[in-house]
């Protein structure tokens, strides 16, 4: 018996990186996983694809489906959700992992890219949560997990160190801070419905394809298993107790006794 037996999980951005690893773990725990991202078939320009993730889950004895979608589009999100419900049922677990990130100083940040990042990091997760909530509420249980970042924490200062003043994390941090606030608000509003809403952030960069592209994972990298374990715990815990968390992996796993110094 796995921790997710009989449950349906929708994991966005699951063609590679953290989304893929979380989807594989949920499948290994018995969930039927709906995979979604923009890259359906292998493409030389990218590392990983939905079809590869799907094949690996099935070969390991798991159950999954793959639905290609551009989650920056409201219409695409609605289509995705309808196809998932028709194929495997409404999700018990929703993992909002899909994201797009551009790093540059705020004084020259293009408006188009600001809007795209906010759509992917904040509006999209809210919309998918809105689509998932009715069935979760009817069942009296559900789990929503948003993948966030320590970049959403406020920088120290003044004075500001060189990293905070030149790394170009302003829009990214703003989007993740908004996602954290959204997480807390949803958790409060859905608490009486038995729906857990949490956010999880690696304590340090994880060496995924996306982080590598942005030069974020050259030193002080974190084992991907830590964020996967955090995600599993937050997607299976008692919603009456384990909700409203903005969980930084190392601290969270120490709190629950899974990780020791």
Under 8 Å between Cβ of 239 and 142: yes
172 is catalytic: yes
97 vs 201: CA distance, rounded Å: 11
For the purposes of burial, counting CB atoms within 10 Å of the CB of 209, is it exposed (0-12), middle (13-18) or buried (19 or more)? Answer: middle
Q: Could you give the CA distance from residue 94 to residue 33 in angstroms, rounded to a whole number? A: 10
Chain CA centroid to CA 42, Å? 22
Residue among 171, 234, 258, 192 at smallest CA distance from 22: 234
d(CA 134, CA 195): 11
Nearest to 31 by CA among 14, 10, 17, 52: 10
Residue of 171, 172, 182, 233 marked active site: 172
Determine how β-strand 8-12 pairs with β-strand 63-68.
unpaired
Catalytic residues: 172
């Amino acid at each position: 018996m796995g921790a997710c037996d009989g449950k349906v999980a929708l994991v966005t951005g699951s063609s590679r990186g953290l989304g893929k690893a979380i989807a594989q773990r949920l499948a290994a725990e018995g969930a039927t996983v709906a995979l979604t991202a923009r890259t359906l078939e292998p493409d030389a320009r990218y590392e990983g694809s939905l079809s590869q993730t799907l094949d690996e889950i099935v070969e390991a004895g798991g159950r999954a489906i793959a639905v290609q979608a551009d989650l920056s589009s409201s219409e695409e999100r609605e289509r995705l959700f309808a196809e998932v419900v028709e194929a495997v049922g409404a999700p018990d677990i929703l993992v909002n992992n899909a994201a797009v990130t551009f790093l540059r100083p705020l004084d020259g940040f293009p408006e188009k890219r600001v809007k795209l990042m906010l759509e992917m990091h904040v509006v999209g997760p809210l919309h998918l949560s809105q689509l998932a909530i009715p069935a979760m509420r009817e069942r009296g249980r559900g789990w929503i997990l948003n993948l966030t970042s320590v970049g959403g924490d406020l920088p120290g200062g003044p004075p500001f160190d060189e990293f905070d003043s030149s790394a170009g994390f302003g829009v990214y941090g703003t989007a993740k801070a908004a996602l954290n606030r959204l997480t807390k608000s949803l958790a409060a509003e859905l608490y009486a419905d038995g729906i857990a809403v949490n956010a999880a952030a690696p304590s340090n960069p994880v060496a995924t394809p996306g982080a590598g592209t942005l030069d974020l994972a050259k030193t002080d990298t974190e084992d991907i298993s830590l964020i996967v374990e955090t995600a599993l715990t937050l997607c299976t815990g008692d919603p009456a107790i384990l909700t409203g968390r903005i969980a930084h992996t190392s601290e969270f796993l120490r709190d629950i006794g899974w990780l020791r110094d």
